[in-house]
Amino acid sequence: MLLNTPTQLPNVQNKILFQSEKIYTVLIVILLIWIGIIIQLLLIERKLKKIEQKYQEKR
């Protein structure tokens, strides 16, 4: 009976993160980093916009 006990959940291999030797996990990790960098760029953009507005007001 012990020999027949599964060591993994049966549906685990079907999940995206576990497909193709788990390469999608690496892609998701890279995507997360991209999103993080883009958020930082957007924050810089917002800061720059504020300065531009201030400059326009002065003129």
Partner 1 sequence: MLSYTIIAGLTLHLPQVGDLEQTSRNLFFHVPMWFTMYLMMFISVVASILYIAKEKTELDSWAKESAITGIAFGIMGLLTGMIWSRVTWGQLLPDTDPAAWWSWDPKQTGALAAIIMYLAYFVLRNSIQEETKRAKLAAIYNIFAAISLLPLTLIIPRILGGLHPGGEEGSPVFNTQDISAHYRIVFYPAIIGFMCLALWITEIRVRLFLIHQKLTEQDESYATEYSNPIT
CA atoms within 13 A on the CB side of 13: 6
The number of residues that bind partner 1 (CB under 8 A) is 31
Token readout for 59 is: 């003129």
Task: Provide the 10 A C-beta neighbour count for residue 21.
Answer: 8
The minimum distance between CB 32 and partner 1, in angstroms, equals: 5
Query: Cα 1 to the chain's mean position, in Å?
Result: 42
The answer to whether residue 38 forms part of the interface with partner 1 (CB under 8 A) is no
Binding residues (CB under 8 A) for partner 1: these are: 7-9, 12, 15, 17-18, 20-23, 25-26, 28-30, 32-33, 36-37, 39-41, 44, 47-48, 50-51, 54-55, 58
